[in-house]
Structures are given as C-alpha cells and as structure tokens.
Amino acid sequence: MEVEEKISQLIKQFSALEDWTDRYALLIDMGKSLPLLPDAEKSEKLLIKGCQSRVWIKAELQDGKVFFKADSDAVITKGMAALLLHVFSGQSPQTILDTPVDFLDQIGLKEHLSPTRSNGLNDMIKQIKLYALAFNLQK
Amino acid sequence: MPYENNTINRNIRTDFPLLEQTVHGRPLIYLDNAATTQKPKVVLDAMYRYYASLNSNIHRGVHSLSQQATTAHEAARETVRDFIHAAEAEEIVFTRGTTESINLLAQTFGTAFLPQGGTVLLSPMEHHSNLVPWQEAVSRKGGRLAYIPMTDGQYLDMQAAESLLAQKPALLTIAHVSNVLGRINPVKELIRMAHAHDVPVLVDGAQAVAHLPVDVQDLDCDFYCFSGHKMYAPMGIGVLYGKKSWLEKLPPYQFGGEMISEVRLYESDYNRLPFKFEAGTPAVAEAICLAEAIRYLQSIGFEAVQTHDRLLLDAATESLSALGGLDIYASDQPKCGVISFNIQGAHHYDVGVILDQMGIAVRTGHHCAQPLMGLLGISGTVRASFAIYNTLDEVEKLVEAVRKAKAMLL
C-alpha cells in the first residue's frame, strides 16, 4: 500500500471515533497487537532515551525498504509506535524522509506532539527518520 | 456538598482562580500538589501590589520606597520565623527553593565541616535534590554516602539508623515527608539520636510545610529547608533555616553585593546573618508573597488542614483499595498529602494519560526518587497529591477515572 493511502486510512479510522475513549481504545488495541520485540533484542542501543516509558525501535533494510520493529513497556506508547510503524514500515528510506507527520494532528493525537511531552512520540519519529537517513546514506 | 464533612468551613475553592478551568472539556481536578500548589488570590494580589506600588531595590536605599520595600521584605522574614518557630529572624535565609537551600548547605557545610573521607548519612527515599548535592559534596572530599535502610520499602529502620549514627557521619540529611510515599519520617526521634552522637541534622521539609505544623526548636534540627511554591506561594522563593551557631560558622555561599559589609581592593568583610548568604538582589516580591501564603494557611489553621488532608487520604486509600488489583505504596499512617499507586499490569504512564483525558492532573514516573523506585522494584508510580482546595467529590472522580483506566488498559 502507498504511504498516502495508509495515512488516509488511519485518519478515516480515527476520525470516525468521536469519543476520546474510543480513540484511545483503538490506540491501545494497536499497541496490544503490535508484535513483541523479544527481550534479547531490547538492547540499550535500541532504547529511546528520555521517555517516561521505555521504547525500543529496530530497523532493517530489505530490498530497498525499511522494516521496523518496536516495543514499549507502556501500551499507549506502544500504540503510538504501532501507528508510526503502520505508516512507515515497508517504505523506502526516501519516502520515510519525505513523508510529513502532520497526520498525527488529524487523528487527534496532536497534544502528544509537544516537544516537552515525555511520551517520546517526537523521539520515535526522530529515530525513524534517522534510521531512514542512515540507510539513504549507505546507498 | 463536598465540604460538609470536613473542618474547612468555607468554600476556599473560589480563592484559587486557576482551578476554574476545564481540561479536555472537563473541569480540572488538580492532584499534583506535591509538585506545586496553586496560588490563592491574596497571594496573586500581593504580587501585583508589590510591583504596582512598592517595587524598588532593598537594603541600602535611602529613599522611602526602598525603605518600605526593605521593611516589607524583612517583615516577611519575621513571618517565616514565626511560621516555623525559629528563635531569631536572622536564622532564616531566603533562597530560590529547597534545591538551592540544600546546595547552599552542601557547598558551605561541605567545604568547612565535611572532613576528608567523611560520610553523609541519608535515606533511600530522598528526593534527588537531597541526594545529588551530597554525592557531589562527598566526592569533593573523597568521602561517601551512607543510607539508612528501609523496612518493606516503607519505614526507616531505626535500629540500623542508630548504629549508622554511632559511626559519626558528618551530617544526617533526611526528608521530613517522602514526596513519593507521603510517609512522615520520625525526624524528631532521629534528631535526638543524631545529637547523642554529635551529628548535626538537616531536614528537607519540602513536602511537610503545607501539611504539618513545623517547630524547628521543638524538633531541635540544625537546619530545615522548604520551598514556597509547594505551600501556596510563588515559585522562586524558599527558605533555609539554620541554628545561628551553625550559620555563623559556615562560610558564605555566593559572593557579590548584599553579602558584604565592606569591600576593599583585595579582600572584603562579609555581612552579618542572614545577609551573608543572600548575595545579589533577592526575590523581594516572592518573599512578601510567601509571607502572604503563610498568613493564608494560618487563617485556615493546621488543625483543619490536617483533618482535611486525612479525610481525603483515607477516602482515596479506601476507595482505591476497594477497586482491587492495585498496589498502593505505604498506605498506612503516619503519612500526609500523597497517595502513590500502580494498577497491576498497567504502566503508570498509560494511567496518567487516561486520567489526563478525564481532566485529572496527577504525576507519573519516578518522582525524582529513583533509588526508592529501585528499592520498591518498580519504574514509577501514579501519584495523586492533595491540597486544602481538593474535595471528596474530586477523590471520587479520581477513583472513577482509575476504574476506567483499569478497564481500558487491562
């Protein structure tokens, strides 16, 4: 699926839910259904520092596409990681770098994007973009 | 009626303008008072009044405005003295807050009275503010920190404290009330034990002063510190109390104007107490507002404050326990102000996010007390902390929100 399609699908899915409870329930579901990262893979190197919850993001390049794995000990944080992975995993490094993250506003998660917010959504985005940049430079 | 069962006999809620707001479309329920309290109108008005009519630099001005401001500033010091029952106003040093008070002492006491290889004794439930400055101080002297162990991660082990004090550390520094657990430590007993071994004691009163009457002479502590902003005063003002005999012996902390009596080209004489420790222009308005906050608190009275606190804590503890599936830390007495808990199987951060959606401000995380978290074997807690303006109705809403968070997260 193209990245734009994935984004509009997500926006549709979230904006159909008027109540915050339902939006968070969906986010929590996404978090719960994200495959676990095996404990052995949760290395210090993959840990995103500065979040109140711990988040690990792993990236691999296969056939020119970046595949991410992520985990967190907090399920809402994990849901946010799942959301980002849904959009970015399987895309080319260039697409990842070129895709803006303003879709998060439209799904009602804007409040989590404040740079001082300690949930690490910003840090996750930064990490995903950094992986893409690194893979791009390897080429 | 939220207030019918307690002894605060008027609706003081209207004294706090900030509380009249909504968060995510719901009335704000502010339960992060251990981090900072909201300010009553009388304090906000005092701040305005100072800058509208009194502002000028204090102490050496001959003009009347400067003299009035100086008088108000020194009257604030006297109000603080009376509040903590210090013997003399010159034992009251104004600082930026508890953190600066402790740094002042770590610097000055650390330089002059911590011997090479000396020890500072403390507890694992200290806020990082009463830990990191001492790590620095002992490392400068090739010394070490020693910790009073805790039983069940809840109480100080007083027997162990006795044998650690017998080893004559240079200082015992201890929280009056734990910011994570709300546990009231037996500081008077510890001070008595410490003094029997000639060990001086600093008490970190940051979490105590808004909840308990403090009498430094009755405690007989050598030093006591607290912040204004956790007791209805503005941020940027705090207090270090020190026994006069100690403050006289300590070297100055920062250098510059105000703290000198005479300056020559190559050396200077330092000012008398407490000005020796107050270099530069002080936070005059904030000191005056602190005095206003003290008068406000005194107008309610600590008996009512404590009854109210107990009422909210008991209700919260009982109702949260009844939900089941929660770990509540240090839920028994003696404690004040704070209830710390986790939903079993849920991360404290997730609980905090859901509570926020429901307009409830709590704090989640390690609360700047990572060693205590390590001891409890957890990464953090959800902490609800109460103030005089919180109501039983708000406690009920907190419990309802925790029930909802539990349902959503598990």
Q: Is the peptide bond before B274 cis (omega within 30 degrees of 0)?
A: yes
B263: contact with A, CB 8 A cutoff: no
Residues of B within 8 A of A77 (CB-CB) are 347, 349-350
Cα end-to-end distance, chain B, whole Å:
34
Q: Which of B10 and B197 is assigned the larger pLDDT?
A: B197
Instruction: Name the A residues in 11-40 with CB < 8 Å from any B CB.
Output: 20-21, 24-25, 28
Q: Around Cβ B348, how many Cβ atoms within 10 Å?
A: 26
A113: contact with B, CB 8 A cutoff: no
Residues of A labelled as active-site residues: 51
- A78: closest chain B residue by CA: B350
Q: What is the ipTM of this complex?
A: 0.90
Nearest chain B Cα distance for residue A54, angstroms: 10
Nearest chain A Cα distance for residue B358, angstroms: 9
A4: contact with B, CB 8 A cutoff: no
Tens digits of per-residue pLDDT, B164-199?
999 999 999 999 999 999 999 999 999 999 999 999
Answer yes or no: is pLDDT of B159 > 50.
yes
> In angstroms, how far apart are the furthest CA atoms of chain B?
71
The confidence score (pLDDT) of residue A49 equals 74
The confidence score (pLDDT) of residue B383 equals 98
Instruction: Determine the residue among A18, A19, A23, A24 to mutate to test chain B binding: the one whose Cβ has the most chain B Cβ atoms within 10 Å.
Output: A24
CB contact under 8 A, A28 and B353: no
User: Average pLDDT for residues A8-26, to the nearest whole number?
Assistant: 90
Instruction: Name the A residues in 54-73 with CB < 8 Å from any B CB.
Output: 54, 73
Tens digits of per-residue pLDDT, B79-123?
999 999 999 999 999 999 999 999 999 999 999 999 999 999 999
Nearest to B353 among A21, A73, A76 (CB): A76
Tens digits of per-residue pLDDT, B278-334?
999 999 999 999 999 999 999 999 999 999 999 999 999 999 999 999 999 999 999
CB contact under 8 A, B347 and A21: no
Nearest chain A Cα distance for residue B349, angstroms: 7
Residues of A within 8 A of B404 (CB-CB) are 21
Tens digits of per-residue pLDDT, A48-64?
876 678 899 999 999 99
A116: contact with B, CB 8 A cutoff: no
Residues of B within 8 A of A75 (CB-CB) are 346-347, 350, 409
For residue B2, name the pLDDT band (cuts at 50, 70, 90): very low
CB contact under 8 A, A52 and B365: yes
Residues of A within 8 A of B357 (CB-CB) are 20-21, 24
The confidence score (pLDDT) of residue A113 equals 57
What does pLDDT average to over chain B? 95
Tens digits of per-residue pLDDT, B234-274?
999 999 999 999 999 999 999 999 899 999 999 999 999 99
The confidence score (pLDDT) of residue A66 equals 97
A-to-B residue pairs, Cβ atoms closer than 8 angstroms: 42
